Amino acid sequence: MKGGVTVKILFWILFFASCLPAVGAPLALAGGIAFGIVAGNPWGNAASDWSRRLLQTSVVGLGFGMNLSQVLTTGRDAFVYTAISICFTMAAGYLLGRLCKTPQRTSLLITFGTAICGGSAIAAMAPVIKAKEEETGVALATVFTLNSAALILFPPLGHLLGMGQRQFGLWSALAIHDTSSVVGAGAAYGSLALAIGTTVKLTRALWIMPSALIAARFAKSEGRAGIPLFIIGFVAAAGIRTLLPQLDSLWHACTGLARQSLVVTLFLIGSSLTREVLGATGVKPLVQGATLWLMVSVASAAAILLGWIA
Protein backbone atom coordinates (compact mmCIF):
# COMPACT_ATOMS: atom_id res chain seq x y z
CA MET A 1 0.00 0.00 0.00
CA LYS A 2 3.02 2.22 0.62
CA GLY A 3 3.77 3.33 -2.94
CA GLY A 4 0.29 3.32 -4.52
CA VAL A 5 -1.20 6.29 -6.31
CA THR A 6 -4.15 6.37 -3.91
CA VAL A 7 -1.83 6.56 -0.92
CA LYS A 8 0.14 9.41 -2.48
CA ILE A 9 -3.05 11.34 -3.25
CA LEU A 10 -4.28 10.84 0.31
CA PHE A 11 -0.91 12.02 1.62
CA TRP A 12 -1.14 15.27 -0.33
CA ILE A 13 -4.75 15.84 0.74
CA LEU A 14 -3.73 15.53 4.39
CA PHE A 15 -0.61 17.62 3.78
CA PHE A 16 -2.54 20.55 2.31
CA ALA A 17 -5.26 20.18 4.95
CA SER A 18 -2.61 20.72 7.64
CA CYS A 19 -1.81 24.07 5.98
CA LEU A 20 -5.26 25.36 6.93
CA PRO A 21 -5.46 27.60 10.04
CA ALA A 22 -8.38 25.52 11.35
CA VAL A 23 -6.06 22.51 11.75
CA GLY A 24 -4.01 22.59 14.94
CA ALA A 25 -0.83 20.80 16.00
CA PRO A 26 -2.44 17.83 17.84
CA LEU A 27 -4.79 17.03 14.94
CA ALA A 28 -2.00 17.25 12.35
CA LEU A 29 0.25 14.99 14.41
CA ALA A 30 -2.51 12.44 15.04
CA GLY A 31 -3.42 12.42 11.36
CA GLY A 32 0.20 11.94 10.36
CA ILE A 33 0.75 9.06 12.80
CA ALA A 34 -2.46 7.32 11.72
CA PHE A 35 -1.51 7.70 8.07
CA GLY A 36 2.06 6.46 8.61
CA ILE A 37 1.06 3.37 10.56
CA VAL A 38 -1.91 2.38 8.38
CA ALA A 39 -0.67 3.30 4.90
CA GLY A 40 3.08 3.80 5.31
CA ASN A 41 4.85 6.95 4.15
CA PRO A 42 5.08 6.89 0.31
CA TRP A 43 8.03 9.31 0.29
CA GLY A 44 10.29 7.56 2.81
CA ASN A 45 13.40 9.53 3.78
CA ALA A 46 12.35 12.47 1.62
CA ALA A 47 9.55 13.29 4.07
CA SER A 48 12.08 13.34 6.92
CA ASP A 49 14.25 15.76 4.94
CA TRP A 50 11.25 18.00 4.25
CA SER A 51 10.23 18.03 7.92
CA ARG A 52 13.78 18.86 9.05
CA ARG A 53 14.13 21.78 6.64
CA LEU A 54 10.63 23.07 7.28
CA LEU A 55 11.22 22.88 11.03
CA GLN A 56 14.42 24.90 10.80
CA THR A 57 12.73 27.53 8.64
CA SER A 58 9.79 27.68 11.05
CA VAL A 59 12.04 28.16 14.08
CA VAL A 60 13.73 31.09 12.34
CA GLY A 61 10.28 32.53 11.61
CA LEU A 62 9.32 32.26 15.28
CA GLY A 63 12.22 34.56 16.06
CA PHE A 64 10.29 37.42 14.43
CA GLY A 65 7.77 37.14 17.26
CA MET A 66 10.31 37.65 20.05
CA ASN A 67 12.31 40.51 21.50
CA LEU A 68 16.07 39.97 21.37
CA SER A 69 16.58 41.03 24.99
CA GLN A 70 13.98 38.43 26.03
CA VAL A 71 15.78 35.75 24.02
CA LEU A 72 19.17 36.60 25.52
CA THR A 73 17.83 36.83 29.08
CA THR A 74 16.00 33.51 28.84
CA GLY A 75 19.00 31.86 27.18
CA ARG A 76 21.37 33.17 29.87
CA ASP A 77 19.12 31.92 32.66
CA ALA A 78 18.75 28.55 30.95
CA PHE A 79 22.47 27.99 30.47
CA VAL A 80 23.17 26.66 33.96
CA TYR A 81 20.18 24.35 34.39
CA THR A 82 20.48 22.96 30.85
CA ALA A 83 24.09 22.07 31.70
CA ILE A 84 22.99 20.33 34.92
CA SER A 85 20.21 18.51 33.05
CA ILE A 86 22.61 17.30 30.37
CA CYS A 87 25.16 16.02 32.92
CA PHE A 88 22.41 14.17 34.84
CA THR A 89 21.00 12.64 31.65
CA MET A 90 24.38 11.52 30.33
CA ALA A 91 25.29 9.84 33.63
CA ALA A 92 21.88 8.14 33.97
CA GLY A 93 21.94 7.07 30.32
CA TYR A 94 25.35 5.46 30.70
CA LEU A 95 24.18 3.43 33.70
CA LEU A 96 20.90 2.44 32.04
CA GLY A 97 22.76 1.36 28.91
CA ARG A 98 24.90 -0.98 30.99
CA LEU A 99 21.86 -2.25 32.88
CA CYS A 100 19.81 -2.86 29.71
CA LYS A 101 22.86 -4.28 27.89
CA THR A 102 22.21 -1.97 24.95
CA PRO A 103 25.07 -1.98 22.39
CA GLN A 104 27.56 0.71 23.43
CA ARG A 105 27.36 3.08 20.46
CA THR A 106 23.58 2.75 20.23
CA SER A 107 23.33 3.49 23.95
CA LEU A 108 25.52 6.58 23.63
CA LEU A 109 23.48 7.91 20.70
CA ILE A 110 20.19 7.43 22.59
CA THR A 111 21.66 9.10 25.68
CA PHE A 112 23.09 12.01 23.70
CA GLY A 113 19.81 12.50 21.83
CA THR A 114 17.84 12.50 25.09
CA ALA A 115 20.28 14.84 26.82
CA ILE A 116 20.53 17.52 24.15
CA CYS A 117 18.50 17.69 20.98
CA GLY A 118 17.04 14.42 19.76
CA GLY A 119 17.67 13.58 16.11
CA SER A 120 19.93 16.59 15.50
CA ALA A 121 22.23 15.55 18.33
CA ILE A 122 22.28 11.92 17.16
CA ALA A 123 23.13 13.00 13.61
CA ALA A 124 25.96 15.18 14.93
CA MET A 125 27.37 12.52 17.25
CA ALA A 126 27.13 9.48 14.93
CA PRO A 127 30.18 10.29 12.73
CA VAL A 128 32.15 11.41 15.78
CA ILE A 129 31.89 8.02 17.51
CA LYS A 130 31.99 6.15 14.17
CA ALA A 131 28.53 4.65 14.63
CA LYS A 132 27.25 2.22 12.01
CA GLU A 133 24.20 3.09 9.92
CA GLU A 134 22.00 0.53 11.67
CA GLU A 135 23.08 1.83 15.11
CA THR A 136 22.17 5.38 14.11
CA GLY A 137 18.86 4.17 12.67
CA VAL A 138 17.85 2.35 15.85
CA ALA A 139 18.75 5.37 18.00
CA LEU A 140 16.76 7.70 15.74
CA ALA A 141 13.76 5.35 15.73
CA THR A 142 13.83 5.13 19.53
CA VAL A 143 14.01 8.87 20.07
CA PHE A 144 11.48 9.56 17.34
CA THR A 145 8.95 7.17 18.87
CA LEU A 146 9.30 8.84 22.27
CA ASN A 147 9.06 12.30 20.65
CA SER A 148 5.71 11.42 19.17
CA ALA A 149 4.50 10.20 22.57
CA ALA A 150 5.70 13.45 24.19
CA LEU A 151 3.68 15.58 21.78
CA ILE A 152 0.52 13.75 22.75
CA LEU A 153 1.15 13.34 26.50
CA PHE A 154 2.87 16.52 27.66
CA PRO A 155 0.12 19.16 27.19
CA PRO A 156 -2.55 17.23 29.17
CA LEU A 157 0.03 16.27 31.80
CA GLY A 158 1.04 19.93 32.13
CA HIS A 159 -2.59 20.89 32.81
CA LEU A 160 -2.97 17.97 35.21
CA LEU A 161 0.08 19.16 37.18
CA GLY A 162 -1.28 22.72 37.22
CA MET A 163 1.68 24.18 35.35
CA GLY A 164 1.58 27.76 34.14
CA GLN A 165 2.71 28.53 30.62
CA ARG A 166 6.24 29.51 31.68
CA GLN A 167 6.58 26.34 33.75
CA PHE A 168 5.35 24.16 30.92
CA GLY A 169 7.68 25.85 28.43
CA LEU A 170 10.65 25.10 30.71
CA TRP A 171 9.51 21.53 31.30
CA SER A 172 9.01 20.72 27.63
CA ALA A 173 12.38 22.26 26.72
CA LEU A 174 14.22 20.21 29.34
CA ALA A 175 12.37 16.90 28.99
CA ILE A 176 11.40 16.52 25.30
CA HIS A 177 14.04 15.38 22.82
CA ASP A 178 13.56 17.20 19.51
CA THR A 179 13.02 20.90 18.90
CA SER A 180 10.00 20.06 16.72
CA SER A 181 8.25 18.28 19.59
CA VAL A 182 9.08 21.04 22.07
CA VAL A 183 7.66 23.63 19.68
CA GLY A 184 4.59 21.50 18.95
CA ALA A 185 3.84 20.89 22.64
CA GLY A 186 4.42 24.55 23.46
CA ALA A 187 2.14 25.70 20.64
CA ALA A 188 -0.61 23.44 21.97
CA TYR A 189 -0.21 24.89 25.49
CA GLY A 190 -0.03 28.63 24.74
CA SER A 191 2.00 31.43 23.18
CA LEU A 192 4.19 32.06 26.26
CA ALA A 193 4.90 28.32 26.61
CA LEU A 194 5.91 28.29 22.95
CA ALA A 195 8.26 31.27 23.34
CA ILE A 196 9.93 29.99 26.53
CA GLY A 197 10.15 26.41 25.31
CA THR A 198 11.70 27.38 21.96
CA THR A 199 14.33 29.68 23.50
CA VAL A 200 15.38 27.28 26.25
CA LYS A 201 15.43 24.35 23.81
CA LEU A 202 17.70 26.23 21.42
CA THR A 203 20.00 27.07 24.34
CA ARG A 204 20.09 23.36 25.14
CA ALA A 205 20.90 22.59 21.49
CA LEU A 206 24.02 24.77 21.70
CA TRP A 207 25.59 22.01 23.79
CA ILE A 208 25.81 19.79 20.69
CA MET A 209 29.16 21.27 19.65
CA PRO A 210 31.14 21.08 22.94
CA SER A 211 29.70 17.65 23.76
CA ALA A 212 30.64 16.26 20.35
CA LEU A 213 34.14 17.73 20.64
CA ILE A 214 34.62 16.01 24.01
CA ALA A 215 33.35 12.73 22.56
CA ALA A 216 35.70 13.12 19.57
CA ARG A 217 38.64 13.50 21.91
CA PHE A 218 37.82 10.28 23.77
CA ALA A 219 37.01 8.43 20.54
CA LYS A 220 40.12 9.83 18.83
CA SER A 221 37.94 10.88 15.94
CA GLU A 222 38.28 13.75 13.46
CA GLY A 223 34.49 14.24 13.31
CA ARG A 224 33.25 17.73 14.06
CA ALA A 225 29.92 19.32 14.99
CA GLY A 226 29.10 23.00 14.64
CA ILE A 227 26.36 25.30 15.88
CA PRO A 228 23.15 24.60 13.90
CA LEU A 229 22.59 27.53 11.53
CA PHE A 230 18.87 27.77 12.33
CA ILE A 231 19.76 28.83 15.89
CA ILE A 232 21.76 31.74 14.49
CA GLY A 233 18.82 32.54 12.21
CA PHE A 234 16.40 32.52 15.16
CA VAL A 235 18.54 35.02 17.11
CA ALA A 236 19.02 37.18 13.99
CA ALA A 237 15.25 37.26 13.36
CA ALA A 238 14.63 38.37 16.96
CA GLY A 239 17.28 41.06 16.51
CA ILE A 240 15.64 42.38 13.32
CA ARG A 241 12.25 42.45 15.00
CA THR A 242 13.70 44.37 17.95
CA LEU A 243 15.43 46.92 15.73
CA LEU A 244 12.38 47.51 13.52
CA PRO A 245 9.32 47.50 15.82
CA GLN A 246 7.44 49.77 13.39
CA LEU A 247 7.01 46.73 11.11
CA ASP A 248 5.13 44.85 13.79
CA SER A 249 2.31 43.82 11.43
CA LEU A 250 4.86 42.18 9.12
CA TRP A 251 6.56 40.34 12.00
CA HIS A 252 3.16 39.19 13.26
CA ALA A 253 2.39 37.74 9.83
CA CYS A 254 5.78 35.99 9.69
CA THR A 255 5.22 34.48 13.13
CA GLY A 256 1.73 33.27 12.19
CA LEU A 257 3.08 31.67 9.02
CA ALA A 258 5.87 30.00 11.02
CA ARG A 259 3.40 28.55 13.52
CA GLN A 260 1.23 27.08 10.79
CA SER A 261 4.27 25.65 9.03
CA LEU A 262 5.06 23.92 12.32
CA VAL A 263 1.66 22.24 12.10
CA VAL A 264 2.62 20.96 8.65
CA THR A 265 5.96 19.81 10.08
CA LEU A 266 4.16 17.79 12.75
CA PHE A 267 2.08 16.05 10.09
CA LEU A 268 5.28 15.11 8.23
CA ILE A 269 6.90 13.88 11.43
CA GLY A 270 3.85 11.81 12.33
CA SER A 271 3.64 10.28 8.85
CA SER A 272 7.23 9.06 9.18
CA LEU A 273 6.31 6.90 12.19
CA THR A 274 5.62 3.76 10.15
CA ARG A 275 5.36 0.13 11.20
CA GLU A 276 8.87 -0.40 9.84
CA VAL A 277 10.26 2.32 12.11
CA LEU A 278 8.49 0.87 15.13
CA GLY A 279 9.73 -2.61 14.25
CA ALA A 280 13.34 -1.45 13.91
CA THR A 281 13.43 0.13 17.35
CA GLY A 282 14.06 -3.07 19.28
CA VAL A 283 13.27 -3.84 22.91
CA LYS A 284 16.54 -2.99 24.70
CA PRO A 285 17.07 0.46 23.12
CA LEU A 286 13.40 1.32 23.62
CA VAL A 287 13.49 0.27 27.29
CA GLN A 288 16.64 2.32 27.86
CA GLY A 289 15.28 5.35 25.99
CA ALA A 290 11.85 5.26 27.64
CA THR A 291 13.26 4.78 31.15
CA LEU A 292 15.78 7.58 30.69
CA TRP A 293 13.10 9.89 29.29
CA LEU A 294 10.80 9.11 32.22
CA MET A 295 13.58 9.87 34.72
CA VAL A 296 14.40 13.20 33.05
CA SER A 297 10.70 14.15 32.77
CA VAL A 298 9.94 13.43 36.43
CA ALA A 299 13.12 15.07 37.74
CA SER A 300 12.69 18.25 35.67
CA ALA A 301 8.96 18.54 36.50
CA ALA A 302 9.72 18.18 40.19
CA ALA A 303 12.48 20.81 40.04
CA ILE A 304 10.14 23.26 38.27
CA LEU A 305 7.14 22.68 40.55
CA LEU A 306 9.33 22.98 43.66
CA GLY A 307 10.69 26.29 42.40
CA TRP A 308 14.27 25.13 41.96
CA ILE A 309 14.05 26.14 38.28
CA ALA A 310 12.13 29.30 37.45
Tell me if 310 is assigned to some domain: no
Q: Has residue 232 been placed in a domain?
A: yes
Residue 300 falls inside a structural domain: yes
In a domain, 227, yes or no: yes
- How large a percentage of the chain has pLDDT more than 90? 17
Convert the pLDDT of each residue in 84-124 to its tens digit.
Answer: 888 899 899 989 988 988 888 888 889 988 988 777 677 67
Residue 161 lies in a domain: yes
- Name the amino acid, one letter, at 114: T
Decide which of 139 and 218 is more confident.
139
The answer to whether 90 and 212 are in contact (CB under 8 A) is no
- Contact, 176 vs 153, CB < 8 A? no
- Percent helix / strand / coil, the chain, rounded to 5: 80, 0, 20
- At 163-190, the pLDDT tens digits run 999 999 999 999 998 877 888 889 889 8
| Residue 264: predicted pLDDT | 84
Q: 292: domain range?
A: 5-305
Tens digits of per-residue pLDDT, 245-254? 888 888 888 8
- Report how far residue 109's alpha carbon sits from residue 64's, in angstroms, rounded to the nearest whole number: 33
**pLDDT above 70 covers what percent of the chain?**
87
Do the domain assignments include residue 19? yes
Residue 69 burial class via C-beta count within 10 angstroms: exposed 0-12, middle 13-18, buried 19 and up = exposed
| 295, part of any domain | yes
Residues in the chain: 310
Q: Is pTM, for the whole model, over 0.75?
A: no
Domain count, the chain: 1
Asked if residue 129 lies in contact with residue 221, where contact means CB atoms within 8 angstroms, the answer is yes
- Position 155 scores a pLDDT of 93
- The reply to whether 31 falls in a domain is yes
